Structure 1
Amino acid sequence: IETFKPDIIINRFDHRTAGITHGHHTASAILSLEAFEIVKNKPKRMFFNTPWWFYGSPEKFEKADKSSLLAVNANVYFPLLGKSNFEIAALSRSQHRCQGFGTTGTRGDEMEYLELLKGDMPSPENIFEGIDTSWNRIKGGAVIEKITSQIEKNFNFKNPETHIPQLIEAYKLLLLIEDTHWKEIKLNEIKFLIEACAGLYLEAVASSESVTKSDTFSIQIEAINRCNLPITLNSVSFSNKVASEKNVVLKNNSKVLLKIENNSIDTNFEYSNLFWLKEKPTEGMYQVANKNLRILPEEPLQFPVVFSVNVEGVPLTIIKNIVYKKNDPEFGEVYMPFTVLPEVTASILQKVSIFNDNKPKEISVKISSKTSSIKGFLSL
């Protein structure tokens, strides 16, 4: 809550029904209520999104008294995307494959019902009633809203580069904003919009998919500006290395290729791993000491390449993570994360081995070495 500073919190689970669902589900609702009272940036409202499941069946929920609940149509249609909300949600939920969560999208009105837990009940027409969600909530934001509103109202879909000067103006005004929370969010969003409107493509590709701490590798830089406005690539750097070419003018649709050679990984750098697997877990619980990582799906920007560009006379710093890519005969261009590995790695070839008795079984292990002079023993 302190990180995202939400105006409204909606709990998916009921804090009063311990024992009828998974413990961490109920715990999330209980902690949400407790956190609401102690955080500095207190949200304005908290709801419980009560589905039919808590009533026993859809039929029972249909007959239940919902007069005290706020009804929200959650399956609106987005014309620009050509999809309804539940179609998008189904695509998302269907990525949760390890528990068989594949879901078919639906279209048409779908009402969700919210029970107010904290704060004041808004009108049925506007869940954000009484909450200023405009730029006016930020000191100095009103003048920025005038610019962004004009862009939104008159957006040129055929030639979006026409809005870059306005976006640059908004960017300069954002630099003066005192609210660090919204300043960081909106600066990144506007930089993304400038990249998109300019067709600015910046990429850093490693020469190999993985390296050890004793390896050196090169980084292939691609930069292309696909608009008619002047953009200069002042410099590109990784760690303490800088591409030799500087102040390169990116002409319209003219690709620029640079290289950063002889890069190495610091000996103190941790081997690549999912951040929740780096520390020893307890039974049923991963340990992550860094609180800032706990809320993230993955560790961000482990190998940042810094692109310093100049757009309309304004310097912008754009950061891209190093990637590795190759062409697959079946799938075409395939991206993979760039990783730092030990000099020797081991992987069990069988995905699943069932030991249904007390007898030993043979399993196959693949050993991969990044060097030819390694000797050792394997034990399980």
Structure 2
Amino acid sequence: MKYRSLFSLTIVLMIIGFSSIAQSNIYSSSKIQLELKKLNFLGNALYLAAHPDDENTRLITWLDNEKLARTAYLSLTRGDGGQNLIGTEKGAAMGLLRTQELIEARKIDGGEQFFSRAVDFGYSKTAKETFEIWEKDKILADAVWVIRKFKPDVIVTRFPPDERAGHGHHTASAMIAIEAFKLAADENAYPEQLKLVDTWQVKRLYWNASNWWNKGIAEEAAGNDKYFVVDAGGYSPLLGESNGEIAAKSRSSHRSQGFGAAMQRGENLEYLYHLEGEKATNDLFDGVHTSWKTIKGGDKIQAQIDAIIANFKPNQPQQSIAGLVKLYNTIKANKNLTPHATQKLADIQDIIKTCSGVFVEAIAEDFSGTENSEVKVSAQLINRNGAAVKATFSNVEGQIELPKNQLIEKDFTIKAPSEISQPYWLTSPYFGVFGVDQQELIGLPESPAAVNLDYQLTFDGTTFTYSTPLLYKWTDRVEGEIYRRFIVTPKATGEFSSNVLLFADEQPKEVSLIIKAHENYTTGKATLTIPKGWETTASQFDYNIAEKGQKQVFKFIVTPPKGGSIGDLSIQLSDGSEMKSEQLIKYNHIEYQTLFDPLVAKVVKVDFKRAGDRIGYIMGSGDEVPNNLKEVGYTVELIEADNLNAVDLSVFDAIIVGIRAYNTTESLKNGNLFLNDYVKNGGNVIVQYNTNRGLVTEDIGPYKFQISRERVTKEEAEVTFIDPKAEVLNFPNKLTKADFDGWVQERGLYFADEWDENFTPILSWNDPDEDALEGGLIVAKYGEGHFVYTGISFFRQLPAAVPGAYRLMSNIIGLGKK
């Protein structure tokens, strides 16, 4: 994948990493002062863990804003396998959402963000299993690459390198950190990286221990030199907040995981346990040359920085520009710079621009353009503070004077790149490791902008080159001004009327192909590809769409084969490429994201019978189960939990409660009364999984049961029918063990581990070397009806078109209807 600069059309990839100023471009004078103070500290720290939301935002805030160290978080995965509390995204889309949440978190706490190529494949119970799927050497290479590129003096892991970490990914992340600590300094380790970076020796490696694992940690740490204890609860007068307050805002960026956090004030001790390298005695950066005075000629640099800080005027930050330019040139002329000292040049350049008050943005006429299309751009530049500055654009002759507070606009047209915008880690098929070919891309939090605007600003005779991404902006009547990156799209994208087409018999179904134009006058030929044995009434579709954004609909009939069959519908274009789908990930707390994956619909012919027709569905945190049930013939009506007392529940054959509804829906505190009455009078209530923390009520169902953290993570784990004659295993579909083949990611999660004697467990299964778990599906007869709790991950299996999961769900819905 290629990325281009607006004028020079060159790839810009920063080998030394990002600017140490956080990934945000809005700074007050107090924040400028903080960045000036950071110029005096030549030290880096890297936090390392497994997932988005694993990081300790308080410690990151303390390191970056109090210790003044350049700080970053390396999350080995992007959280693709996690649950979603705010929407229906799963898999790659979930990883993209959580990636953006991490980027937003770093904007708040001041850190930078890195990732490895590891795929979050869901919950793992051992590091052994994790490494089998991750291809350990590749992930270890990525960690070494990030260390060599970012050059931390201190690494802190979130988890211990053993079973106390509680998750195979967690344990693996600590094990990776320990090995990478040693290998980053070894020139024989991953020598291909040394064409781009040098080896790097980290000073020390600590584990961020916690009373989460050890309730007696305070007593254990007292007088124990294996521990280094810091108070991360300090207050920043420049920021007007304590580290705990900033950290809470940062952690609350993880909305998809429901990690809104309360602000903390006052002392907060962090216990750091020594793993590798030299132990710290008085300071976490003991033995690290964090002062300019340790560099030859550094005394002069130190004096200049101190003078700039002392003379800084918050109401006139532009008066510091002359001193900063002089400082920049002094550092640049020094031939004895360490990597950390060299990084300060980029930091000073950013501070100069911020002090100047110069604002530059490049705005596209629309948020998207197709490959190689003409794109109209308006570049706007304003010198808000009146600093002495001139600007140069690559396509404008001479320098441009920038009078105080006068908006300068330059309109021009560019050619869009020749490749569509797709996250760099999602451009090829993958399993446990994302396929990324370009070494320079590995570790980056997101793809470089499709188009960048390069410009130069000259202050006091020194010219600095800056870059800003091409953006699109609009004004929402509620949210105000909103930005998103300009993206390159295919000329046309498509969608099927359903992503899963399940056929319970040989009756044909009508299917729609909806083609959307991404430029005016879009024409082409689309060819339908169907599995062997399936038939269709049309396979060629000539589309002709006049305006960008409009759609054309083609309807055709699909007839399944006589026997069972699973396959894909896809669309080939006349140039031999696959038609792409378009998925917009749109939330107010992140920048909008778009995915262009191959357009595919799963077609499944399965022996499927229904008992019951009308389903009431109480949505929880969000899933696709209602639409999946509609696809197989059920009539599904969404019920608001607030309205349970006003709805005639007796009209439903079953009421299904969506995933995590008892975690997210306060009104279910009182809903149990109405649902129990419905069951007593002959109805079926099916409650899907909830986490055992944060339940709005313990009263779920007519009898007591306890939700645990127990789960079966191996999707191929063998199933045992506890009572093969149980109705739920035999009607209306006769289930066999074959119905549990082809499942995805896991069997289930948050199983019950204790239940009232009125419940009957139905299935038993286990992960390797563990005891069998029976709480994944428990059924209780109550009055004339049935109550069911299930931790089975139907929310994953049904969208993945797993036939046996549909047959099992049908049987659960049909309880009592034999």
Shorter-chain TM-score bucket reads 0.7 to 0.9
**In 1: Cα distance, 2:171 partner to 2:502 partner:** 35
Deviations 1:311-353 (A, max 9, x none): 1111111111111111122212110110000001235788xx8
How far 1:281 sits from its partner (Å)?
0.9
Task: Report the counterpart of residue 127 of structure 1 in structure 2.
Answer: 284
Query: Matched residues, percent identical?
Result: 33
How far 1:361 sits from its partner (Å)?
9.0
**In 2: Cα distance, 1:132 partner to 1:38 partner:** 22
Compared CA separation, residues 129 and 349, structure 1 to 2 (3 A): farther
Task: Report the counterpart of residue 488 of structure 2 in structure 1.
Answer: 340
Could you tell me which amino acid in structure 2 is paired with residue 50 of structure 1? A
How far 1:198 sits from its partner (Å)?
0.8
**8 Å Cα contact 1:93/1:102 also seen in 2:** yes
Could you tell me which amino acid in structure 1 is paired with residue 213 of structure 2? F
| Match among 509, 516, 520 for residue 368 of structure 1 | 516
Deviations 1:3-24 (A, max 9, x none): 1111111111111x13752222
**In 1: Cα distance, 2:374 partner to 2:283 partner:** 57
| Match among 435, 448, 453 for residue 287 of structure 1 | 435
Unaligned runs of 5+ in 2: 1-146, 186-199, 529-569, 571-600, 602-818
Compared CA separation, residues 345 and 354, structure 1 to 2 (3 A): closer
**8 Å Cα contact 1:144/1:173 also seen in 2:** yes
Compared CA separation, residues 26 and 177, structure 1 to 2 (3 A): farther
**In 2: Cα distance, 1:341 partner to 1:180 partner:** 43
How far 1:64 sits from its partner (Å)?
4.3
**In 1: Cα distance, 2:366 partner to 2:271 partner:** 51
Deviations 1:122-141 (A, max 9, x none): 33x42222322122344544
Task: Give the SS at the match of 1:92.
Answer: helix
Name the TM-score, length of structure 1 as normaliser.
0.86
Deviations 1:128-164 (A, max 9, x none): 2232212234454432222112112232111111110
Task: Report the counterpart of residue 152 of structure 2 in structure 1.
Answer: 6
Could you tell me which amino acid in structure 2 is paired with residue 103 of structure 1? A
Summarize the alignment of residues 297-376 of structure 1 with structure 2, pairs less than 5 Å apart: 297-346=445-494, 367-369=515-517, 370=519, 371-376=521-526
**In 2: Cα distance, 1:343 partner to 1:80 partner:** 49
Could you tell me which amino acid in structure 1 is paired with residue 257 of structure 2? Q
How far 1:265 sits from its partner (Å)?
2.4
Task: Report the counterpart of residue 167 of structure 2 in structure 1.
Answer: 22
**In 2: Cα distance, 1:363 partner to 1:50 partner:** 55
How far 1:185 sits from its partner (Å)?
2.5
**In 2: Cα distance, 1:83 partner to 1:356 partner:** 55
**In 2: Cα distance, 1:338 partner to 1:147 partner:** 41
Could you tell me which amino acid in structure 1 is paired with residue 304 of structure 2? I
How far 1:219 sits from its partner (Å)?
1.4
| Match among 309, 312, 328 for residue 152 of structure 1 | 309
**8 Å Cα contact 1:73/1:112 also seen in 2:** yes
**8 Å Cα contact 1:18/1:26 also seen in 2:** yes
Task: Report the counterpart of residue 276 of structure 2 in structure 1.
Answer: 118
**8 Å Cα contact 2:362/2:468 also seen in 1:** yes
| Match among 217, 231, 252 for residue 404 of structure 2 | 252
Deviations 1:152-208 (A, max 9, x none): 223211111111000000111232244473465222211111111110111111111
**In 2: Cα distance, 1:150 partner to 1:293 partner:** 39
Summarize the alignment of residues 1-380 of structure 1 with structure 2, pairs less than 5 Å apart: 1-15=147-161, 17-18=162-163, 20-40=165-185, 41-55=200-214, 58=215, 60-61=216-217, 64=220, 66-68=222-224, 69-123=227-281, 125-178=282-335, 179=337, 181-182=339-340, 185-234=343-392, 236-237=393-394, 242-243=395-396, 246-261=398-413, 263-267=414-418, 270-282=419-431, 284-346=432-494, 367-369=515-517, 370=519, 371-377=521-527, 379=570, 380=601
**In 2: Cα distance, 1:193 partner to 1:141 partner:** 20
Task: Give the SS at the match of 1:173.
Answer: helix
**8 Å Cα contact 1:212/1:342 also seen in 2:** yes
Task: Report the counterpart of residue 33 of structure 2 in structure 1.
Answer: none
**8 Å Cα contact 1:229/1:312 also seen in 2:** no
**8 Å Cα contact 1:177/1:183 also seen in 2:** no
Could you tell me which amino acid in structure 2 is paired with residue 42 of structure 1? Q
Task: Give the SS at the match of 2:524.
Answer: coil
How far 1:308 sits from its partner (Å)?
1.7
**8 Å Cα contact 2:450/2:488 also seen in 1:** no
Q: Tell which deviates more after alignment, 292-301 or 177-186.
A: 177-186
**8 Å Cα contact 1:271/1:341 also seen in 2:** yes
How far 1:364 sits from its partner (Å)?
7.5
**In 2: Cα distance, 1:220 partner to 1:25 partner:** 47
Name the TM-score, length of structure 2 as normaliser.
0.42
Q: Tell which deviates more after alignment, 196-205 or 183-192.
A: 183-192
Task: Give the SS at the match of 1:373.
Answer: strand
**In 2: Cα distance, 1:249 partner to 1:293 partner:** 37
Task: Give the SS at the match of 1:281.
Answer: coil
**8 Å Cα contact 2:379/2:411 also seen in 1:** yes
Compared CA separation, residues 202 and 62, structure 1 to 2 (3 A): same
Could you tell me which amino acid in structure 2 is paired with residue 264 of structure 1? K
**8 Å Cα contact 2:495/2:514 also seen in 1:** yes
**In 2: Cα distance, 1:296 partner to 1:345 partner:** 28
Count of residue pairs brought into register by the alignment: 363
How far 1:74 sits from its partner (Å)?
1.4
Compared CA separation, residues 84 and 13, structure 1 to 2 (3 A): same
Could you tell me which amino acid in structure 1 is paired with residue 416 of structure 2? I
Deviations 1:285-311 (A, max 9, x none): 322223332322112343121112211
**8 Å Cα contact 1:345/1:368 also seen in 2:** yes
**8 Å Cα contact 2:496/2:511 also seen in 1:** yes
**8 Å Cα contact 2:301/2:327 also seen in 1:** yes
Compared CA separation, residues 349 and 335, structure 1 to 2 (3 A): farther
Compared CA separation, residues 356 and 139, structure 1 to 2 (3 A): farther
Could you tell me which amino acid in structure 2 is paired with residue 313 of structure 1? G
**8 Å Cα contact 2:364/2:378 also seen in 1:** yes
**8 Å Cα contact 1:175/1:183 also seen in 2:** no
**8 Å Cα contact 2:381/2:408 also seen in 1:** yes
Q: Tell which deviates more after alignment, 163-172 or 296-305.
A: 296-305
Task: Give the SS at the match of 2:264.
Answer: coil
Task: Please give the root-mean-square deviation of Cα atoms over the aligned residues, in Å.
Answer: 2.7
How far 1:99 sits from its partner (Å)?
2.2
**8 Å Cα contact 1:230/1:312 also seen in 2:** yes
Task: Report the counterpart of residue 774 of structure 2 in structure 1.
Answer: none
How far 1:367 sits from its partner (Å)?
3.1
Could you tell me which amino acid in structure 1 is paired with residue 244 of structure 2? F
Deviations 1:202-238 (A, max 9, x none): 111111110012420121111111233321112x23x
How far 1:260 sits from its partner (Å)?
2.1
Task: Give the SS at the match of 2:378.
Answer: strand
Could you tell me which amino acid in structure 1 is paired with residue 223 of structure 2? S
Compared CA separation, residues 374 and 32, structure 1 to 2 (3 A): same
Greater Cα radius of gyration, structure 1 or 2:
2
**In 1: Cα distance, 2:450 partner to 2:277 partner:** 40
Compared CA separation, residues 98 and 280, structure 1 to 2 (3 A): same
Deviations 1:53-87 (A, max 9, x none): 222xx4x4455454312211112111111211122
How far 1:121 sits from its partner (Å)?
2.7
**In 2: Cα distance, 1:329 partner to 1:347 partner:** 30
Could you tell me which amino acid in structure 2 is paired with residue 129 of structure 1? D
Could you tell me which amino acid in structure 2 is paired with residue 14 of structure 1? P
